[in-house]
Amino acid sequence: MDYREWQPPAGLGGVLSCLWMRVVPATGAAPVTVLPDACADLIWSSEHGAFIAGPDTRPAPAELAPGTVLIGARFRPGAGGPALRLSLDELRDQRVDAADAAPLLAKRLPAGLSPTEAAQRIGPVVADLAAAARLDPEVGEGARLLAIRPELTVARLAKALYVSERQLRRRFDAAVGYGPKMLQRVLRFRGLLARLDAPGGPAGLAQVASDLGYADQAHLTRETRELSGQTPAELARAHWPDLVIRRCTGTREV
């Protein structure tokens, strides 16, 4: 299975994490497991046309047919809802046909395109979405703070942003797809994946747990099992091509 990523087109870095493509070999079906990454994606499939992948809170297994080509645009946490003009909490843990959620996108990215045509169209489509998006500045800043300060509580985050906790959760639900606490969990998990994926792996899980803001190693293990279905040790031994480890995630590269 071939998976590649590209930097967002000029001017779209505040909305997109990346553009990407996945090509499934013609030799057989490809099982994959998509792990939570705090992002929503607009995806064109050679099999079905355009669909939207909402933000995940658990591992999402899928099987891709032989020869399938996927071309996607991955929105940064907090940008997907405004760009797609959808309340992302309604798409949480779901894959929804664009024809049902955003009919105009389905018309611009129909199933009958060739992969080359889809790749040429998705950039302009996303540029139009970004131009019309009204990003929520408090959500954007909140996502940034949670990425760099994993110890923050929701109460302290709300205070730092001068909004109530209730309002903060409501705005996160719409723009990110879930509340700030869930985003914090996913961002910490992505930090763990980055450590596991680094050359030589992590020095020790106890130190990683401390660095990433977990209470202790047991907390890290429990959270990892809930978000991936595997322990950190099992993830470290996993066959990485079978896991969609979306590296262009978050408010910064991990």
CB–CB of 23/253 below 8 Å? no
Q: Which of 31, 86, 32, 27 is nearest to 54 (CA)?
A: 86
Could you list the pLDDT tens digit for every one of the 254 residues in the chain? 588 999 998 889 999 999 999 999 888 776 788 999 999 999 999 999 999 999 999 999 988 889 999 999 999 999 999 999 999 999 999 999 999 999 999 999 999 999 999 999 999 999 999 999 999 999 999 999 999 998 899 999 999 999 999 999 999 999 999 999 999 999 999 999 988 887 776 778 999 999 999 999 999 999 999 999 999 988 888 755 555 555 565 433 32
What is the spatial distance between Cα 45 and Cα 234, in angstroms, rounded to a whole number? 30
pLDDT confidence of residue 251: 34
Q: Looking at 82-176, which runs of residues are DSSP E strands?
A: 95-97
Whole-number pLDDT of residue 113: 96
Whole-model pTM?
A: 0.90
> Please, what is the angle between helix 165-175 and helix 154-161, to 10°?
90
